[in-house]
Structure 1
Amino acid sequence: MRKPDGLFKLLGLCLLAGVLVAGILFPVVGAAGVVSNQASETVDKTSSDLADVPPPLVTTVTDSAGDPIATLYSQYRLPVKTDQINDAMKWALISVEDKRFYEHHGVDWKGTLRAAVSNGAGGDTQGASTLTQQYVKNYLINVVNRNDKIAQEKAQEQSIARKLKEARIAIQLETKLSKEQIVAGYLNIVEFSRQIYGVGAAAQSYFGVPPEKLTVPQAALLAGMVNNPIANDPWNHPAAATTRRNLVLDRMVDNQKLAKADADRFKTEPLGVTPDGPQKPAANCIGAGPENGFFCQYVEEYLRQQTGMSKDELYSGGYTIKSTLDKRANHEAKISAETQVKKTQNNVANTLSLVRPGKERHEVVALAANRDYGTDQAQGQTTYGLPYDVANVTGAGSSYKIFTAAAALDKNAAGIYSTIPTPQTYISKVFTSGPGGCGPLVAQATWAYCLSNYGEGNYGPQMSLQQALATSPNTGFVALEEKVGLGPVLDMASKLGMRNTMASNPATGGTVNPKSQEPQERESQASFYGPKGNSPGIGAFTLGFSPTSGLELANVAATIVSGGKWCPPTPIAQILDRNGNPKPIKEAPCEQVVPEALANTLAVGMSKDSQSGTSSRAAREAHWDRPTMGKTGTTNTSGSGTYVGATPQLAGAAMVFRHPGNPNGGLRYNGPGNVVAVQGDGNMFGGMTPAQTWFGAMGNILKDQPALPLPAPDPKYTGGAG
């Protein structure tokens, strides 16, 4: 005998002895077998993990009627029961992976001994795993440690120690589960490539059938894949997949579960998988489609940001999330937005966000945009949260005068019928705009803030606050802001609903970054525009030139017509866990942010816009005749436009603005210029495209509902001190 052969034989015998000792530590008693109570703490913990960590499942998002709109998942898995898996699939798997599955109790000692000798002679240490052992390994890889690459590598390392630990757990498992349960468990866990896990999802994705309908060659293909899903992918590697399928058919013949003649016939058949890849739903909100995708994305972001649910929990929890989406309302909003601004028009977003008012909940019912939701920019698609995020970086214009009017009522500085000054030009000695801010009006007044009303002769020297809300003179609201103080106006904006907006930075609408080199990115809007030291703050705030969320602006209107009751704009109606049990989520409580009498009076103060104000033309063209509170807004140089309004049944905000993320504009407004819409001279005004979008959608949405009156004003807030 050559010396190396003797060493290999000696090593093999030593390893064989080690396996036999391990066998003594795993005593099997009776038909089921009992694990020694000396099992290590590590093994016990792993066994506990297998029992306590459920497999990732698909989360389904539905509309308010319960109809699915999207699926969210990291692993596409459709769990099935034992009786939903046919014999062809079971025997194909057993024949190729563990021929003696029904003869052992978790560990195939005959195969293990053979593998130990082979390993001792330099063979592969991975041999001899039973289905039960593979179930343990796959559960650790695909479930317990799915987000831990190091732990996944340990669960696959080629070592005797890992195999022995796996064997002990397998024996424990077989004392708790039947053979049929183990086969079903394995087939529910194992990977089939391309985010497809489990035979239920694989049968549907590969062949478009449930697992009980799999044919023998189909089952053989799937059984052959579990050994190496990537290498045996039938679309990328059809030859390898065919070879592997045919091997499984041969093993079924060897195991006397298939006649050789049938196997030979099956080998001639094509793979038969669905053309162009697996048939499975999108793994995220892309599956909601171009119309409902923004709403789905808001659901996801709301749950993650407002309730603390992690993405992993959301994408693996198997939840059924019933949203508040009204698909009909969303469709009408989408149609109206596209009617006014083409979806492919360069650098223009037209959005409409709708909220149902109430004193207990403010449910979001629609989030629409002219642009489609998706990733194909050439087709006008985007995944930016246009209808709900702080996405309008050019501002909402004069719609912010709502906050000045509300603060004036709150501080008894004016009532809705009070007379306020509205001169054509105004020079503020309270607010400043920097050197040269007044231009030729006051050549030396570098400390002054100067402004004028739009157009010549459009306004008289004074008017009621109600008329000012309808016709929107700039000078009157800056003067009113001086009287009230900017602090209360900023506070009112936050209280009524602009909470994320006021917490964002004034440059991009993004998160405040104290380390940024841009001063405007280092502060929140509430801080940046507000009073500091001897500075009274930036009086132009009431003219609405800062980044804005359309959804929050819609919720401001909902708060006002809800009697001053603010509630978070929620897209969630109900969440059920994987077992069908309700899952409570923690949402911000509703707050009475202003007296109900004030809110009711403010709604009346804003009721003339659609009758004789800046949106009256759009209202007439839409044949609108409902009692409505509303306010238009247009930013400097017609950079963007807004209409925010509400009836007692529904509130909403429409905004036209530069499209964030556009390669020509980025996330920041880059200087003067008009957002080009589809009508008129191309200039944007809140009373044009935004108001037309709002009335166009709301008229169809509310056509079958009664025209309800606005609440009566309270005398306390009608006269004031103006």
Structure 2
Amino acid sequence: MRRGAAVSKLAGLCLLAGILVAGLIFPAAGGLGALSNQVSAAVPEMARQLLNTPAPQVTQVTAADGSPIATLYDQYRLPARYEDISDPMKAAVLSIEDRNFFSEGAMNPRAVVRAVLNNAGGGSTQGASTITQQYVKNYLINVLDRNDAKSQEEDRSDTMARKLREAQLAVIVDRSQSKQQILANYLNVVSYGNQTYGVGAAARYYFGETPDKLSIAQSAMLAGMVNNPSRYNPYTYPQETLQRRNVVIDAMAAAKSITPEQAAAAKGEALGVQPEKSAPPASCYAAAPDSGFLCDYAVDYLEKAGLSQEQIKSGGYTIQTTLDPRISRAAKDAADRRVPSTQQGVANPFVIVKPGQSSHDVVAMVSNRSYGTDAHAGETSYNQPANVSVPFGAGSVFKLFTTAAAMEKGTAGLSTPLPNPGAQCFPVPGSRSCATVHNDGGYPNPIPLRDALATSPNVAFTDLELRTGMPDVIATAAKLGLRQTMRTNMHGDSPGPAPDGASVPSTYTQPQDQFNQGNIAFTLGFSPFSPLELTNVAATLADHGRWCPPNPIKQVTDRYGTPVPIAQQPCEQVVPPGLANTLVQGLGNDVKPGGTSAESAQAARWTRPTAAKTGTTQDNESVAFLGITNSYAATSVVYADGSHPGTICATNPPVIQNGCKGAFGGTIAAPTFYDALGQVLGGQPAQPLPPADPKYLAAR
């Protein structure tokens, strides 16, 4: 080093040492200079953030019974209290990093001066940081500035300004926290490599232990890693890590934290780390096949309720969902039996909701697909059960919206005979033309509304839809539960510009509740929909006409165990209880002889009173079954989810193939319901459907 440069560096570092000693050890001293004044101006706010910003923690997502579903995090950190960290771990880090920690202040002035002089003179680089200073530096890098690369670079820079700021903050921390708190905070904030932060996560990751169980050898390895987690990675550089661990063990013996005999025994141990692995996945993709979709929906629900993604990933929350593990497993198994996970081009989303006194709890949200990123394994990253995912519609299930609107308006009652010719050309709203609608098969003419619900003649319901009025039918669909669905366009997306060359631009630009005002096929169910929202329609009817948002959250608590209030839309009485009960009663014939799902019910030996509606789209690209029994509401949908959709064949399992006998909701979608609910209800006594209200039996 040139003499002039060395003198200049020495002078600067001596000035720094003088500032640190005079300004921090004796803070009343004046004349710290422009640098000190400049740095000191920023320190109070930084100190406030440092003392009041908790380190990121892992958020746990659980089922309703508390069993784990997934972990969400920005940094894999499992904090530990001072008393929950083993004595060897504390001794190891003190011995190698700061032996005089409990007897010194925030700084060691003699070490500062010694390091300054030695480093400036060209000797080996020496650190002068106490654990308090190291805690401050790591907190700035790993917590406060973790999302700001430029600030992190400044936190690591070898400048007088950085060191002065760090030292001033260390003094504030030393005066604000006990030594035990500082040591525990330090051990909880530092990186241990391999995406782990803090001693709790490191103990679990490397040794499968909790921090209170760490041995001398294990503690020494972790304490040695703090200096350079990459260089002392036991998987990449096991020999260097072993040597570093033994240096720490020797330091522990020299500090008399352990006996020479204990040191010798510990140095004789192998590293003993677990097989190399990744940190636990930080998303709902890691959830079990029966819980990934509900996990994803719960996170999205909380974000819409006001918790940011950043808060959820770093807040250390416990998110207890409404998922019932027993019901969810039964639902997933039933969906997989109907359509195997890897079946090409065919999906079977299935949702079960349990209406309660104050909410409609989602207890199962599954599909034959699993939530994940491996398409070859039958996974999808798109939430089929929750999103407006079924592009082809639910078929005749939508006829219940026409029925509810007609009953509310007085156009028809459950016993009202409906005109039902084999075919009829109906006027198209807003047009001078008409569109011909056909019945699929032979039906009575007229047909009572109750019988029409069980057998689904297209002509009778199209006529009833138009006599009731398209605006009322569409509004009923939304208020009963298809709320987000009706806000999307006819492609299941948010309305927006139509692509160039679109044959019907309005299918892109208009929401469904606007586009369908002129679509007499609405009652025939050709509009995209969300299986979750359709299930919540059933829950609204089962709940005597009261709508509540489909709720995936049982409780959220923060890192301290305090409940976190979650904003939720209030429940609404959207149709009179008598109307809802009458419609549920009217849907009770679908599972009986003559009904569209009677054959599947008989095959499943199903005898429970059940309100149900089946649906099949015109080209058999989607079939659906909505059911209500024993206070559970559920929807099973089988639809073509591949890039080349086509007819779903009535085979077991169903396949996509042209020219085959097409599937129907009663024969392909309904068995998933009977299979799952049969397991869920087991030997429970059957509950009757509610009685019809005479007010809604005839037209008014």
Q: Is the TM-score greater than 0.5? A: yes
1:441 matched to which residue of 2?
none
Q: What is the RMSD computed on CA atoms of the aligned residues?
A: 2.7
Contact 2:640/2:648 (CA < 8 Å) preserved in 1? no
Q: Give the superposition deviation at 1:653.
A: 0.6
Work out whether residues 12 and 118 of structure 1, in 8 Å CA contact, stay in contact via their aligned partners in 2. Answer: no
Q: 1:581 aligned to 2:562?
A: yes
More displaced 10-residue stretch of structure 1: 704-713 or 581-590: 704-713
Question: Is residue 2:158 matched to residue 1:175?
Answer: no
Question: Could you tell me which of 674, 681, 684 is aligned with 1:695?
Answer: 674
Q: Which of 317, 325, 330 is 1:327 aligned to? A: 325
Is the Cα–Cα contact under 8 Å of residues 647 and 662 in structure 2 kept in the other structure? no
Shift of the 24–689 alpha-carbon distance from structure 1 to 2, 3 Å rule, reads same
Q: Structure 1 98/528 Cα, relative in aligned 2: closer, same or farther at 3 Å?
A: same
Deviation at 1:277, TM superposition (A): 2.2
Q: How far 1:648 moved relative to its partner?
A: 4.8
Structure-1 residue corresponding to 2:288: 289
Q: Which residue of structure 1 aligns with residue 374 of structure 2?
A: 376
Query: Which digits, 9 at most, give the CA deviation of each residue in 1:192-214, with x for residues without a partner?
Result: 12331111111111011222322
2:434 pairs, out of 428, 448, 451, with 448
Q: 1:161 to 1:118 in 2, by over 3 A?
A: farther
Mapping of residues 413-492 of structure 1, within 5 Å: 413-431=411-429, 447-455=433-441, 458-492=442-476
Q: What does the per-residue CA deviation read over 1:206-229, in whole Å, with 9 as the maximum and x for residues that have no partner?
A: 011222322222222211222222
Cα pair 1:131 1:183 within 8 Å, conserved: yes
1:564 corresponds to which of 522, 545, 553: 545
User: Within 5 Å, which residues of 2 pair with 1:638-677?
Assistant: 638-659=620-641, 662=642, 664-665=643-644, 672-674=646-648, 677=651
Aligned residues: 683
Structure 1 position 391, deviation (Å):
1.5
Letter in 1 for 2:673: W
Q: Which amino acid in 1 is paired with 2:419?
A: P
Q: Does 215-224 or 679-688 show the bigger shift?
A: 679-688
TM-score of the superposed pair, with normalisation by structure 2: 0.91
The letter for the 2-side match of 1:341 is: V
CA distance in 2, matches of 1:159, 1:324: 53
Q: Deviations over 1:67-110 (max 9, x none)?
A: 23322222222222222222322232223323443443111222
- Assess if the C-alpha contact under 8 Å between 2:131 and 2:183 holds in 1: yes
Pick aligned residue for 1:635 from 613, 617, 630 = 617
Give 1:499's match in structure 2, choosing from 483, 486, 492.
483
Shift of 1:115: 3.1
Q: 1:381 & 1:404 partners in 2: Cα distance? A: 36
Preserved CA contact (<8 Å) 1:432 1:448: no
* TM-score, normalising length: structure 1: 0.89
Secondary structure of the corresponding residue to residue 637 of structure 1: coil
- For residue 594 of structure 1, give the secondary structure of its aligned residue in structure 2: coil
Partner of 1:117: 117
* Equivalent residue number for residue 526 of structure 1: 513
Provide the C-alpha distance between the structure 1 equivalents of 2:52 and 2:180, rounded to a whole number of angstroms.
Answer: 20
Distance 2:597 2:124 in 1: 78
Distance apart, 1:514 and its partner CA: 4.0
SS in 2 for 1:356: strand
Report the equivalent of 1:301. Answer: 300
The answer to whether the Cα contact below 8 Å between 2:86 and 2:212 also exists between their aligned partners in 1 is yes
Partner of 1:249: 249
Of residues 662, 673, 684, the one that matches 2:663 is 684
Question: What SS does the corresponding residue of 2:575 show, helix, strand or coil?
Answer: coil
Amino acid in the other structure paired with 1:513? G
1:711 equivalenced with 2:690 (yes/no): yes
State the Cα deviation string for residues 229-252 of structure 1 (Å, max 9, x = none). 233322233344334334433444
Give yes or no for contact 1:341–1:677 (8 Å, CA) kept in 2. no
The alpha-carbon distance between structure 1 residues 251 and 420, as it changes in their structure 2 partners (threshold 3 A), is same
Deviations 1:9-36 (A, max 9, x none): 2441343034213321223599xxxxx9
List per-residue Cα deviations over 1:624-655 (Å, max 9, x = no partner): 22222110000111111000011251111110
| One-letter amino acid matched to 1:511 | S
Structure 2: gaps (5+ residues): 29-35, 655-659
Structure 1 residue aligned with 2:657: none
Q: Secondary structure at the residue paired with 1:606?
A: helix
Report if aligned partners of 1:630, 1:644 keep a CA contact under 8 Å in 2. yes
| Comparing 372-381 and 390-399, the one that deviates more | 372-381
- Which of residues 534, 547, 561 is equivalent to 1:553? 534
Shift of 1:716: 2.4
CA distance in 1, matches of 2:601, 2:124: 79
Q: In structure 2, what residue type is equivalent to 1:521? A: Y
Contact 2:371 2:383 in 1 (8 A): no
Task: Give distance in 1, aligned partners of 2:613 and 2:77.
Answer: 49
CA gap of 1:65–1:103, structure 2 versus 1, over 3 A, is: closer
**Structure 1 residues 513 and 191: CA distance shift in structure 2, 3 A:** farther
C-alpha contact 2:650 2:664 (8 A) present in aligned 1 = no
Is structure 2 residue 177 aligned with structure 1 residue 193? no
Aligned mates of 2:9, 2:326 — CA distance in 1: 74
Note if contact 2:118-2:126 (Cα within 8 Å) is conserved in structure 1: no
Q: Distance in 2 between matches of 1:126 and 1:265?
A: 30
Q: Measure, in 1, the Cα distance between the counterparts of 2:373 and 2:48.
A: 42
